[in-house]
Structure 1
């Protein structure tokens, strides 16, 4: 299967491996590019993988034997060996020969895209590694089954960003999200109480909305998490310090949610 092959954006070939979302998958990232931290974030947070970086490509076969990954991601910008040579090396190795390989084609090299597939890679991607398409590609390559989400968590908010970020974190913990979006009109207690949720997460920016909802909190029959600090801004270019702040914020909120729901 090829998608956008003429533009070198995404090239896929089929794989027969199927994985349940309940199995802890492992991914090996070979190379060290400027996108490594973003790749790791996607693999760990959005795909729930155990991830390991191999910065020495010539040690890739050894790392495969030790780590036993379910998928291998190769940065096209390698040192000491070309990306295509590494694919050949892995495909000739008995242990790594059947493990799906995805090439991160950061330079959108059309020749690389065609040759990588012909040498045995399952996909060659030049779409942004933080995009939904990147995550979807890995899911397609591994044929990951749809996640069966658990109980429902209610989210009361008046912020687009808060709704997007917190909904994603709740989903990562295996829960569905029921959103109550606040506006200038006060929300009815009956509307909130009638929602079948296991807990409520409240993140309100407007002072008026906070006044409206604060009187309702004590009347809710399930646990409530409120007073969240705002997530760090995600700009186009992020330093290591920015990424660390975001990671720490996400971990802190996940821990609070886990404690609330368990």
Structure 2
């Protein structure tokens, strides 16, 4: 799994930051040259440094990132429109001492978060959960199984069609890579193997469980590299049957990395 995320070939034991990696596939023996992972790390660190700079020179209470996150939280809670959010940013930029580094628009805020790997993808779904309008179904306007329309019907002419159901996907690969971009979290991801102290009859970590040990026996090759990520899947439903006052349902699916220390 670790090799899949960072495109390392079998048998390659060199440190990931000192090597250009090759992605091999069935169609090409030579493979396709991949971007050096060091470049991704440098870009992430640059963006993180920019986001963590003070809101304005001399400000000790707020960074650009904390302000953007709090304002976006308010936007969602209060259901501000994009135009309202842009107007509010304009006013706040005038209120703050010059120079200040508050983004100029809602799109600029989203771009900053996407650069830090905190973005998500909207994927339209069938209202009956038959299919995602993705890949081979991306251009379709009706579900190929139940024939339900992809978009909500409206008597008024709309500039943009509104989908009946949306899956918001947080890309996993970028988030797994980010766990290894800091030496602190990278070390914590190996804690279960490098620093955990086993004590018979005591379970302090999932690695102490019978299920973990049985998995190690069954998938010995995977277990050999402690950096391989073990994920726990959890889900829950908020208003799953639409019986509350809100008109929508939400069913989050959460992945938890078990590698990290307790």
TM-score (norm 1): 0.27
- From the CA coordinates, give the structure whose radius of gyration is larger: 2
TM-score (norm 2): 0.27
Q: Which has the higher strand share?
A: 1
Higher relative contact order, structure no. (Cα contacts within 8 Å, ≥ 6 residues apart): 1
